[in-house]
Amino acid sequence: MLERALNGGKLYWTWIGFLLAVFGVGFLFYLQQWNVGLGITGMSRDVSWGFYISQFTFLVGIAASGVMVVLPFYLHDYKAFGRITILGEFLAIPAVIMCVTFIVVDLGQPYRAMNVIFHPSPSSILFYDTIVLNGYLLLNLLVGWTCLHAEKKSIAPPKWVKPFIILSIIWAPSIHTVTAFIYAGIPGKHFWLTAVMAARFLASAFASGPALLLILALIVRKFSKFDPGSEAIQTLGKIVTYCMILNVFLLGLELFTAFYSGIPGHMHAWEYLYAGIDGKGVLVPLMWLSAILAAVSISMLVFPQVRKNETLLAIACVCVFFSLWIDKGFGLVVGGFVPNSFEQVTEYWPTLAEFSIAMGVWALGFLILTVLYKVAVSIKEESGGEAIH
Amino acid sequence: MKIERREFLKLAGLSAIFGLGGTAIAASVQQTPSYIPDPKELTGKRWALVINMDKFKTDADVKRVIEVCHTKHNVPNIPNPKQEVKWIFTEMMENVFPEQQDKYLTEHYKHMPFLTLCNHCANPPCVRVCPTQATFKRKSDGIVMMDMHRCIGCRFCMAGCPYGARSLNWIDPRPYLDPKKINPEFPTRMKGVVEKCTLCYELIAVGKIPACAEASNGAIVFGDLEDPKSEVRKVLAETYTIRRKPELGTRPSVYYVIGGMKDAGKGA
Amino acid sequence: MYNGGKIILGLIVFIGLMAAPFIFGLGKGNAKPNPSIDTPAIKAMEKKQCVEAKAVMKTEHMKMLNDWRDSVVRDGKRLYVATDGKKYDMSLQNTCMKCHSNKAQFCDKCHIYVGAKPYCWDCHIAPKEGA
C-alpha cells in the first residue's frame, strides 16, 4: 500500500521536499551534537532537561489522544468517527516515533541507549515508559495497517484484530500516565510533585491531540476528495472544548494548593514562570501567551455557534494546540528545575542548534504522518471513506 | 579449540612451575580465577560524613578540601557555570538549607559557605530513577556509586537528586583538566555521562579515608553510622547536627554541625 | 525485462560500491600486527608473564577487562586471584598499563589492524609514551 505515497502532485512533493530540508538541517546539527556533546544546547547543570524532553512529553500526549476517536468508534459504535479512526491511529504512530527520537537525541551517550534493555531497572519509570511507548507503537501499526488493508479490499477487518483494538484503548492512557509519573514521583521538585499531574497530562493531551487531529482533518478535506465528515469534526470540537476546560481547571487546582498553602517551594516555580524571580524571567512572555491563548480558545469554544463555524473552530483549535504546546512542551519541564535545589535561578533557553534538532524531529514526524495520511486518504477516496467493523 | 586449550594448560602449568619456585607445588594446582576485596579495605555498614564548617578557619581551608578532591578525581575546571562539573563545592548556608532562610539568622551562618556534596542517601531517588542501574547503592557500605561505563546520559538522576549533587559532562571534560595536575591513577570521564562524589570508594578499598575528610584537619569526620563506637556516632551524640532536606525521606548520610561544638563560632 | 537497462545499471553501480573497499585495497597487503612488549617494566621482569597466559590474554583480554570493571565498580572486589594464585589489582591504568606502558605499540597496533575501537581511552588515561 505504501506505493500510494509516491503518487502526488507538485504541492505534495514540495511539502515533502520542505520536510526533508528541515530534517536535513536538524540532522546536520545533530551531527554537531554527536561530536561536541549536549553542550551545544542551552541546558545546564541546573536545568538538565530542556526542549527535547518537553517535546517528548507533549508528544506522548498527542500519541495517547488517538484513543479519543478510537474509543467512541469501537466501544460505542459512534459511526461518525468511522471515517477518521484511521487518522487518529496514523497520528499516533509518528507521534510515538517522535517521542522515541526526542529521547534518543536527548541522551548524552546515545549509542548506549540499549543499556535500558540490557540492564532493565524496574524501579525506574523510564523502564516502563520504554515498554508502553514501544508497545503502543506496535499496537497502532498493527491495528491501523490491518484495518486499512481490509478497507482497501472492502471487507470487514479480521476478527483477531479486535482484542488488539481494545488493548490499544486501554494502553493509550497508560503511556501518558507513565510519562506523568516520570515527573510526579520525584522528591524535591515541588512543581512536579503533584497527584493531579497524570490527570492534567491526560486532560491536556485529550485537548491538544484532538485539536491537532481536527486541523489535520480539515486539511485532508481541503486537499483531497476524502471528507472526514462535519459530524466527526463537530464532535472533535466538543472533545477539545471539554478537555481544555478540564485542563485549565486542573491548572487552577495547582495554583490554589500552591498559593493558598503559601508554601514557598510550591509557589516558586509558578512565580518564576509567570512573573520571573529576581528580574530573571525569559519564559514569562511565553507563559502569558499560553495563558492568553487558553483563555481565547475557551471563550470561543464554549459557544456552539462559534464551533459550528469551521474556520473559527479551526482558529480555536490552533490556539489550544499552541497554548498547550507552550505549557507542556516547554514551561512544565523547565519550571520544575527553576529555582534549582539551592533556590537559585538559572535560566534556560534553547540554542539555535537545539531548536533546529527539535524541528528536525518534528519534520521527521510530519514526514511519516504525510506518507501515512497519503496512503490512508487515497484508499478512503476509493472506498468512499466508511470503515466497516 | 583443542589446540588453544592444550596450549593454555601447558603455558599455565609452565608458568606455575618456573614462576613460583618454592611454592611451586601448592601453586601448580590450577585454580579458577576469582575476585576478592582488598584485605586492607575499610569495612562499615553505612559510611557517613559529619561536616563542621566552624572548624574551617579560612576560605583557603575550604578551597584546599575542594582542590584535593577535584585533583584526585580529575574533575575538570569548566569556566561556564552552566556546564560545570563538581563533586564537592560550596554554597551559602541559606542556599544549602533554603528552608532555614530567615532574615534574622545570625550573619555568621547566613552567608557562610557550606561544603556540599553527594549525601549518599540511605534512600536515594537518583538510584530509584536510573533506567540502567548505572548509579546504584552498594549494599555492603551504602555508598551511592556511579558506573560511568553504563551511564547513558539521560539525566533522570540529575532531576531526581534534590541536592544538586550531580553533573553531566556536557562537553568533553579533558581539555579542562590542568595537564600538570592530572592524576594518572584515576580515570577522567567522557562527554555525555553523569558524575558525582563516590565517597572515595577507591581509597576506602585500600584502607584510606575519603580525601576531603583527610584534608580537612578534622573539620570533616568520616565513619560508620551503624557502628555505635564510630567517631561519627560520637559527634552525633554530643552535638546538634542537621541534614539537608530530611523531610524528603532520602535519609542523607552527610550531617552538618551547627554551633554547639566547643569551638563553634571561633572560626569566622 | 521491464526496465531492464535501469536494473542492470543499478546492479552494476551497487556491486561497484560494495566491492570498492576490496578493489582499492588490492595489492596493499596488510602485515600482521606484532604488538611489542618492549617496555622497561617488562624488560625488568625475570619471567615475562602477564596475569594469565599469553594465549588466554590474546583471546580473552576484552572479556576480562569487562569482568574486571564490573567487579571493581559494581561489586567492590578489586583483587584478581589469577590461575596461578597470584593477586593483582584489577586496574587498567594502574596494573595493565604499568607494564604495557607502550599503548601505541601494544594496544593500538592490533586494534587498528582489526578495526576495533575500544572507548577505554576516552576516560582511562594512557601512559605518557617515550617517558
What CATH number is given to the structural domain containing B70? 3.30.70.20
Query: For residue A119, what is the nearest residue in chain B, using CA coordinates?
Result: B132
What pLDDT is attached to residue B100? 87
pLDDT digits (tens, 9 = 90+) for C51-108: 999 999 999 999 999 999 999 999 999 999 999 999 999 999 999 999 999 999 999 9
Q: How many CB atoms within 10 Å of residue A117?
A: 12
Q: Is the pLDDT of residue B29 over 60?
A: yes
Taking the CA of residue B107 and the nearest CA in chain C, the distance in Å comes to 43
Examine residue B265 and state whether it is found in any structural domain, yes or no. no
Distance from CA of C109 to the nearest CA of B (A): 22
B222-248 tens-digit pLDDT: 999 999 999 999 999 999 999 999 999
B23 and B108 share one domain: no
ipTM of the complex: 0.92
Whether residues C84 and B27 touch (CB distance < 8 A) is answered with yes
Name every residue whose Cβ is closer than 8 Å to that of residue A360 and which is 6 or more positions away in sequence.
A22, A23, A24, A25, A26, A27, A29, A30
Chain B residues inside the 8 Å CB shell of A119: 132-134, 150
Q: How many residues are there in chain B?
A: 268
User: Could you report the per-residue pLDDT of C1-22, keeping only the tens digit for each?
Assistant: 677 888 899 999 999 999 888 8
Cβ contacts of B83 on chain A, cutoff 8 Å? 39, 44-45
* B49: region left, alpha or beta (phi > 0 left; psi from -120 to 50 alpha): beta
Residue A227 lies in a domain: yes
pLDDT given at position B4: 53
Is the CB of A45 inside 8 Å of chain B's CB atoms? yes
Q: Are residues B20 and B131 in the same domain?
A: no
Residues of C in Cβ contact (< 8 Å) with B36:
77, 79, 81, 87
Q: Which chains touch B (3 or more CB pairs under 8 A)?
A: A, C
* Contact status, residue A232 vs residue A387, Cβ threshold 8 Å: no
| Model pLDDT for residues B83-116, shown as the tens digit of each residue | 999 999 999 999 999 988 888 888 888 888 999 9
Q: pLDDT tens digits, residue range A49-96?
A: 999 999 999 999 999 999 999 999 999 999 999 889 999 999 999 999
Same domain, B91 and B215: yes
Q: How far is A165 from chain B (nearest CA, A)?
A: 30
In this structure, what CATH number is given to the domain that contains residue A370? Answer: 1.20.1630.10
- pLDDT bin (cut points 50, 70, 90) of residue B258 is confident
B11 and B125 within one domain: no
Q: Is the pLDDT of residue B120 over 90?
A: yes
Domain extent, residue B136, equals 47-257
- A368: domain range? 2-383
How many structural domains are present in chain B? 2
Nearest alpha carbon to residue B71 among B47, B55, B88: B88
Q: What is the pLDDT along chain A (389 residues), one digit of tens a residue?
A: 777 888 888 999 999 999 999 999 999 999 999 999 999 999 999 999 999 999 999 999 999 999 999 999 999 999 999 889 999 999 999 999 999 999 999 999 999 999 999 999 999 999 999 999 999 999 999 998 898 888 888 888 899 999 999 999 999 999 999 999 999 999 999 999 999 999 999 999 999 999 999 999 999 999 998 999 999 999 999 999 999 999 999 999 999 999 999 999 999 999 999 999 999 999 999 999 999 999 999 999 999 999 999 999 999 999 999 999 999 999 999 999 999 999 999 999 999 999 999 999 999 999 999 999 999 998 888 876 565 55
Do residue B4 and residue C59 have CB atoms under 8 angstroms apart?
yes
pLDDT on residue A386: 60
Kindly report the average pLDDT of chain B as a whole number: 88
Q: How many CB pairs under 8 A join B and C?
A: 100
Residue-level pLDDT at A382:
81
Q: What is the C-alpha to C-alpha distance for residues B109 and B59, in angstroms, rounded to an integer? A: 14
Partners of B117 in the β-ladder:
B88
Would you say residue B8 lies in a domain?
yes
Please report whether residue A389 resides in a domain: no
Q: Is residue A367 part of a domain?
A: yes
- Pairs of residues, one from chain A and one from chain B, whose beta carbons lie less than 8 Å apart: 143
Answer whether residue B63 is part of any domain: yes
Chain A residues with CB-CB distance to B190 below 8 A: 109
Residue found by looking up cell 479519543 in the block: A68
State how beta strands B220-224 and B47-51 pair.
Answer: antiparallel
Within-domain flag for B268: no
* CA closest to C127 among chain B residues: B184
Using 50, 70 and 90 to split pLDDT, how confident is the model at B13?
low
User: Do B38 and C85 count as a contact with CB atoms less than 8 A apart?
Assistant: no
Residue B263 domain-assigned (yes or no) = no
